[in-house]
Amino acid sequence: MKLLNITAKIHVYTIDECNESKKKLIERAKLATHMAYAPYSGFCVGAAVLLENGEIISGNNQENAAYPSGLCAERVTVFNANSQFSQTGIEAIAIAAFHDGDYTNEPCYPCGSCRQTLLEVENRFGKSLKVIMYGESAIYEVDSIKDLLPLSFGKESLKE
């Protein structure tokens, strides 16, 4: 038997160490948390994407009493951006969460479905997508969604 060891490179920093572009993207994600519709969980997530053309599009989670019918902030945001700018790639996405009257201390990570959606964005536009996960105590950033989704299933998996 062989053992396969998978690692991920994650940049860890604080908001004070961000450049102005990242601060702006994170701030838009944080602002989006306050417009989330989360009456069941009370966990409000916001996301913001930076498009190749410099536009920033934000979105937030939308819950539903029939739980599978809701949608996470990351997918709301990506689908919104792709519907408005269908031929423009996404350079980065920032994610933030607000719960119990404050932003979460630890970074907010995308769920499995959102990771798969972000992988599709990378495949669609043929370039890596930076994922910036905000927390009050630290910010985590990966250079590609593949760092958060090893052994991923993408379009190359559908070839014989």
Active site (annotated) includes residue 91: no
Say yes or no to pLDDT of 22 above 80: yes
Domain residue extents for the chain: 11-15+23-149
Say yes or no to pLDDT of 65 above 70: yes
pLDDT score, position 142: 98
pLDDT score, position 91: 98
Say yes or no to pLDDT of 155 above 90: no
Q: Which CATH architecture has domain 11-15+23-149?
A: 3-Layer(aba) Sandwich (3.40)
Q: What mean pLDDT do residues 90-94 have?
A: 98
Q: What mean pLDDT do residues 92-112 have?
A: 97
pLDDT score, position 160: 61
Q: Could you tell me which residues are beta bridge partners of residue 130?
A: 92
- Catalytic residue, from 17, 20, 63, 74: name it: 74
Give the closest residue to 56 by CA, choosing from 99, 23, 19. 23
Q: Whole-model pTM above 0.85?
A: yes
Say yes or no to pLDDT of 152 above 90: no
Q: Taking a C-beta distance cutoff of 8 angstroms, is the pair 25, 92 a contact?
A: yes
Q: Taking a C-beta distance cutoff of 8 angstroms, is the pair 76, 47 a contact?
A: yes
